Structure 1
Amino acid sequence: MALSRVLSLCLAHICLFASVCFAADPFVFYNFDLSYITASPLGVPQQVIAINGKFPGPTINVTTNNNVVVNVRNKLDENLLIHWSGIQQRRSSWQDGVLGTNCPIPPKWNWTYQFQVKDQIGSFFYIPSLNFQRAAGGFGSFIINNRPIISIPFATPDGDITILIGDWYTQNHTALRKTLDAGKDLGMPNGVLINGKGPYRYNDTLVPDGLDYETFEVHPGKTYRIRVHNVGVSTSLNFRIQNHNLLLAETEGSYTVQQNYTSLDIHVGQSYSFLVTMDQNASTDYYIVASARFVNESIWKRVTGVAILHYTNSKGKATGPLPDPPSDEYDKTFSMNQARSIRWNVSASGARPNPQGSFKYGSINVTEVYVLKNKPPVTINGKQRTTLSGISFVNPSTPIRLADKYKVKGVYKLDFPTRPLTGPSRIETSIINGTYRGFMEVILQNNDTKMQSYHMSGYAFFVVGMDYGEWTNNSRGTYNKWDGIARSTTQVYPGAWTAILISLDNVGVWNLRTENLDSWYLGQETYVRVVNPEATNKTELPMPENALFCGALSKLQKYVPSSISAVIVNPFLNSHPFSSVSFFRPQDVSLATSINSRLKLFFTLLMIVCAVIPTFH
């Protein structure tokens, strides 16, 4: 009897230990093979970047606080990085997938990203961040769902639909690069794709016959959450669904005050969630439209993207003209007023039970101010470049975060100007020295004739104001200090400014850039370096064991897994046997598979024993 009690007690402690281990936030695994395929979205065969043979790539669908593991195989003929746009990568810029923080994944190599979507919800996407590759594909959506115990501020939708829109060129991304390198403009795109497909043939003159187009089937009377992402090169798009209202509910991780729009401008790099009720009769299908904004509409008509909304009981195809875009050719304030109308729902829970609006950003003292101004492209040292405050950024051969870790000198300068330079523009690796736990005010001044979008990695910032003209100190009197939307990408209108506030609580090196791909490629970006003066793993995770090395640190690169223990993440999951291995040999994979199999068997038997223990009492 005593032996039975001792055994029972020991096993009970083991079971408690196991239950604690597996009560932790779960892991979700994805394998991404990036390769070239031939596709003809606009009727012209061309090289596109597919993931697992598909264009666009798969949707990553996870829940708040999940640990996400994505094993990326680079089957392209050039370096690759995947950037998780809008995913805040709390405490780990090592996983951000941009050149300032990560060495690229060489051709024929693979690398595993691992990060936690900590305290986030919402609609995001991922993109390749190097070599103009986004213009060829390699992108997909990224959804973070609420945990079941956290309510959402609307009735649970009857379905979830993801729509990727974006302007598209029929030239390869390498040819587009050469055009920019030669100092030329890309010109008008050849079309707008919706989920990687061309437009429905709504017009026999403008749209060629035989194009594959996207159809979304819906049930009458049901309400769907429709997530729309602009993953294009540089064109702002107006999104609308014929005869249907778009009830705005969320943008890039923040629930919004719910209000109806007949159409909404979605700028490059932005994401929105709409609740759309299928409340129309089914006499015909309905058009879904993404058309270019702030351009000569008569010339750009042929680049309009059109998909079909098909009711299950529809009686015919969509016919007739497309629903009209906003009629504001001579009213520059319409779109800006629409943007200003998007407000934060301060009474809704976010990823946590407490209201989002409990963070009173309007009452926090600003500790540093940066005015970042962009202008039309300039010539520097005989090359066409774009600038931010007079500096055209050049990525160092050794990533900034890696240089900090190994104390490599001369990689970058912490001298980015707080105000635009007055002298000649220059090419430099100049970054912003952010103050940990500081509160930064950034003024994005667009002195170009084209719309710009700006994105910051690692953060959701507060959009507090925008207006035409030059920003001055007096402009602060117009700021929204209560319910300005928190998001990761904001638009800046031509000849106008946008003000954002950033709470610098996420340690790391974070990219601040234009989302317009041509301007980004030519240097319109910088980084914000946020360092905790007290070194601790509580504010920044250690460098991952599978980190890549390049530049001045190339000699540190290993071509085998850093440790087999890295592959043992959770034996209860049906994970890929080398889901966390960077570079592997056949014997490593064999050993990892064996270890995982035995661990799964061990823990399964352990849990069975735990279940049987009560019968001994």
Structure 2
Amino acid sequence: MMASFGYLSLFLLPFCLFLTFSSAADPFAFFDFEVSYITASPLGVPQQVIAINGEFPGPTVNVTTNNNVVINVRNKLDESMLMHWSGVQQRRSSWQDGVPGTNCPIPPKWNWTYQFQVKDQIGSFFYFPSLHFQRASGGFGGIIINNRDVIPIPFSTPDGDITILMGDWYTRNHTALRKSLDDGKDLGMPHGVLINGKGPYRYNDTLVPDGIDHETIEVHPGKTYRIRVHNVGISTSLNFRIQNHNLLLAETEGSYTVQQNYTSLDIHVGQSYSFLVTMDQNASTDYYIVASARFVNESLWKRVTGVAILHYSNSKGKAAGPLPEAPKDEFDKTFSMNQARSIRWNVSASGARPNPQGSFRYGSINVTDVYVLKNKPPVSINGKMRTTLSGISFVNPSTPIRLADQFKLKGVYKLDFPTRPLTGPPKAETSVINGTYRGFMEVILQNNDTKMQSYHMNGYAFFVVGMDYGEWSENSRGTYNKWDGIARSTIQVYPGAWTAILVSLDNVGIWNIRTENLDSWYLGQETYVRVVNPEATNKTELPMPDNALFCGQLGKLQKPQDISSATSITGDRLKMLFTLLMIISTVICALQ
């Protein structure tokens, strides 16, 4: 009997460890994702898109602060994949991050279950497939992390919650686009902009062909809605606006903002915002919702505009006439930068915890590490077109970095990413930033390309403290905002300009820092920050999950998946099994 108990204790050890890092009282939220191809015609041309549970875009993951999230992903694609939870801070668990530096890919026809806790987080985020340029074919959806009931939101409870996923779109699928990049070709101009997976409303008979399905969002007069807007596109910054309606900015990527009204806002690739919009107009007609390209030749890109319809429940007619105008700043880009600078942290509002967001006082912390990450136009390295950060084009290793550390493999990567850009010829390497655990890192993102870029860091929210045109210098620190710069996970860097961020390296793991522009990311404009606790303890990072996949040098450790059992333990059965294991493990952990 004692032997049986011992074997059971050993089997449930991973659950005991998980309970150590998360509260058993915190609820679990279960989701099933079946990732597959479907045929859709968002711009009137039939094409292959990636759907989640048959939906394009995928379903919204709606959870609450501190929920333990369990998402079972079944890969029905014909190639490997990973699902990435963009902006969701995988606290102490880069094992669940869903990027190639930390996780082996999920093979075709396999199941893999992600399990993480949205610890001390609120806000608006999205998920997407991170491998093989797949995001260009879909597979994305919204993520909502609600406040706990005991933590008030800094505004009246909205009458509804609306998710908008917008982005540039090609009628070629991701494999064709990927081949173009592999062949050293530019992707060219997108064919359109989608809003929630649908093409533009036919506001103009010449620019928009007949027969395209458009998105309609129904609202009720006098009500106020929280509208969460995500740019899930490939490389195009978009200006978002709703005809005749003010956008009261309330939150961005997990931080409540100082509430300000905008008639329109530039939303760059990978960014998420939530607005409070009151339906205070008359219902004589419907209203346009517009997402139009920015920082491009507007005259050429007029047909690349996303248009949806805001429909009042008592509307008396269809929207008609010209679209509301975008900012007229074609020859003066300081308008957009000043708009970005106006977005401030609400330092008096509580976030996920019952204390003001501004109590962190980031401006009084001493900086321990400084990295200048410089982006330049694509270059040829070893006969291939590549993009770089600081002169290095990142090469993803066949064995993920986090897995190599776990098994103490040598030669998988180099911990030598330079603090300043290389002065010699560019090179392709697996070069990683050596982060200082509990250090405070200053990162200057310098964009010396002619295209807008936006940058994202996994596992963290960083403080945006400054941006300006020209080359960053030590004197630029005199312009930093050290009090209420917004905390977020994705920030734009204007062409010929710089953006400075500060990040507290308190989250142990291997964390990706990259451009969100999908073409530049695919060609190597990224690196990882390795954050290791020098103390021998497992209290700052969850252990390797028992369902970890193996690849590269460790591929021989991977056992074949029993497809029959993997496909049968899904949905309600998975919930029941997981709940039962948690109950048993709670009892056993208490006895040990």
TM-score of the two chains, using structure 1 as the length reference: 0.89
Is the alpha carbon distance of 1:596 and 1:239 closer, same or farther for their aligned partners in structure 2, counting shifts above 3 Å? closer
| Structure 1 partner of 2:319 | 318
Paired residue secondary structure (1:585):
helix
Cα-to-partner distance string for 1:579-616 (whole Å, 9 max, x where unaligned): xxxx66379859x959948987xx9xxxxxxxxxxxxx
Cα-to-partner distance string for 1:520-552 (whole Å, 9 max, x where unaligned): 000000000000011322100000000000000
> For 2:173 and 2:423, how far apart are their aligned partners in 1?
38
Is the alpha carbon distance of 1:50 and 1:453 closer, same or farther for their aligned partners in structure 2, counting shifts above 3 Å? same
| Structure 2 partner of 1:156 | 157
| Structure 2 partner of 1:585 | 565
> For 1:194 and 1:536, how far apart are their aligned partners in 2?
46
Contact 1:415–1:431 (8 Å) recurs in 2: yes
Contact 1:183–1:383 (8 Å) recurs in 2: yes
| Structure 2 partner of 1:49 | 50
Is the alpha carbon distance of 1:560 and 1:329 closer, same or farther for their aligned partners in structure 2, counting shifts above 3 Å? closer
Q: Which amino acid aligns with 1:48?
A: V
| Structure 1 partner of 2:8 | none
Q: Which amino acid aligns with 1:467?
A: D
Is the alpha carbon distance of 1:585 and 1:256 closer, same or farther for their aligned partners in structure 2, counting shifts above 3 Å? same
| Structure 2 partner of 1:188 | 189
Cα-to-partner distance string for 1:233-278 (whole Å, 9 max, x where unaligned): 0000000000000000000000000000000000000000000000
Q: Which amino acid aligns with 2:467?
A: M
Alignment of 1:389-428 (within 5 A): 389-428=390-429
Cα-to-partner distance string for 1:130-154 (whole Å, 9 max, x where unaligned): 0000000000000000000100000
- Report % sequence identity: 85
Q: Which amino acid aligns with 1:332?
A: K
> For 1:599 and 1:467, how far apart are their aligned partners in 2?
52
Is the alpha carbon distance of 1:363 and 1:593 closer, same or farther for their aligned partners in structure 2, counting shifts above 3 Å? closer
> For 2:574 and 2:293, how far apart are their aligned partners in 1?
54
> For 1:288 and 1:541, how far apart are their aligned partners in 2?
43
Is the alpha carbon distance of 1:596 and 1:286 closer, same or farther for their aligned partners in structure 2, counting shifts above 3 Å? closer
Q: Which amino acid aligns with 2:102?
A: T
Matched, 1:499 2:479: no
> For 1:418 and 1:584, how far apart are their aligned partners in 2?
50
> For 2:159 and 2:55, how far apart are their aligned partners in 1?
26
Matched, 1:365 2:345: no
Alignment of 1:220-231 (within 5 A): 220-231=221-232
> For 2:575 and 2:506, how far apart are their aligned partners in 1?
39
Alignment of 1:69-148 (within 5 A): 69-148=70-149
> How far did residue 446 of structure 1 move?
0.1
> How far did residue 22 of structure 1 move?
9.3
Paired residue secondary structure (1:143):
strand
Paired residue secondary structure (2:454):
strand
Q: Which amino acid aligns with 1:393?
A: F
Cα-to-partner distance string for 1:335-357 (whole Å, 9 max, x where unaligned): 00000000000000000001110
Is the alpha carbon distance of 1:286 and 1:392 closer, same or farther for their aligned partners in structure 2, counting shifts above 3 Å? same
Contact 1:236–1:267 (8 Å) recurs in 2: yes
| Structure 2 partner of 1:440 | 441
| Structure 2 partner of 1:198 | 199
Contact 2:111–2:566 (8 Å) recurs in 1: no
> For 1:482 and 1:501, how far apart are their aligned partners in 2?
12
Is the alpha carbon distance of 1:597 and 1:248 closer, same or farther for their aligned partners in structure 2, counting shifts above 3 Å? closer
> How far did residue 283 of structure 1 move?
0.5
Alignment of 1:493-532 (within 5 A): 493-532=494-533
Q: Which amino acid aligns with 1:442?
A: V
Cα-to-partner distance string for 1:445-485 (whole Å, 9 max, x where unaligned): 00000000000000000000000000000000000000000
Matched, 1:263 2:264: yes
| Structure 2 partner of 1:8 | none
Contact 2:74–2:112 (8 Å) recurs in 1: yes
> For 1:427 and 1:511, how far apart are their aligned partners in 2?
17
> How far did residue 559 of structure 1 move?
2.7
Contact 1:308–1:318 (8 Å) recurs in 2: yes
Matched, 1:467 2:468: yes
Matched, 1:306 2:286: no
Contact 1:444–1:499 (8 Å) recurs in 2: yes
Give the RMSD, CA atoms, in angstroms.
2.0
> For 1:159 and 1:547, how far apart are their aligned partners in 2?
39
Cα-to-partner distance string for 1:386-445 (whole Å, 9 max, x where unaligned): 000000000000000000000011000000000000000000000000000000000000
> For 2:528 and 2:537, how far apart are their aligned partners in 1?
22
> For 1:442 and 1:264, how far apart are their aligned partners in 2?
25
Paired residue secondary structure (1:268):
coil
Is the alpha carbon distance of 1:262 and 1:482 closer, same or farther for their aligned partners in structure 2, counting shifts above 3 Å? same
Paired residue secondary structure (2:300):
helix
Alignment of 1:288-303 (within 5 A): 288-303=289-304
> For 1:294 and 1:599, how far apart are their aligned partners in 2?
51
Q: Which amino acid aligns with 1:103?
A: C
> For 1:537 and 1:422, how far apart are their aligned partners in 2?
40
Q: Which amino acid aligns with 1:553?
A: L
Q: Which amino acid aligns with 2:83?
A: I
> How far did residue 230 of structure 1 move?
0.1
> For 1:117 and 1:532, how far apart are their aligned partners in 2?
21
Q: Which amino acid aligns with 2:110?
A: W
| Structure 1 partner of 2:12 | none
Q: Which amino acid aligns with 2:423?
A: T
> How far did residue 331 of structure 1 move?
1.1
> How far did residue 110 of structure 1 move?
1.1
Q: Which amino acid aligns with 2:395?
A: V
Gaps spanning 5+ residues in structure 1: where? 1-20, 562-582, 604-617
Is the alpha carbon distance of 1:425 and 1:405 closer, same or farther for their aligned partners in structure 2, counting shifts above 3 Å? same
Paired residue secondary structure (2:185):
coil
Cα-to-partner distance string for 1:308-332 (whole Å, 9 max, x where unaligned): 0000110000000000000101112
Is the alpha carbon distance of 1:153 and 1:593 closer, same or farther for their aligned partners in structure 2, counting shifts above 3 Å? closer
Contact 2:111–2:567 (8 Å) recurs in 1: no
> For 1:152 and 1:419, how far apart are their aligned partners in 2?
41
| Structure 1 partner of 2:355 | 354
> For 2:253 and 2:567, how far apart are their aligned partners in 1?
43
Gaps spanning 5+ residues in structure 2: where? 1-21, 584-592
Q: Which amino acid aligns with 1:238?
A: N
Contact 1:559–1:584 (8 Å) recurs in 2: no
> For 2:325 and 2:369, how far apart are their aligned partners in 1?
44
| Structure 2 partner of 1:5 | none
Q: Which amino acid aligns with 1:384?
A: M
> For 2:359 and 2:23, how far apart are their aligned partners in 1?
32
| Structure 2 partner of 1:547 | 548
Paired residue secondary structure (1:322):
coil
Paired residue secondary structure (1:433):
strand
Paired residue secondary structure (2:299):
helix
> For 1:542 and 1:115, how far apart are their aligned partners in 2?
12
Matched, 1:169 2:170: yes
Q: Which amino acid aligns with 1:138?
A: G
> For 1:503 and 1:251, how far apart are their aligned partners in 2?
19
| Structure 1 partner of 2:41 | 40
In the TM superposition, structure 1's runs of 4+ consecutive aligned residues that sit over 4 Å from their partners are 586-590, 592-600
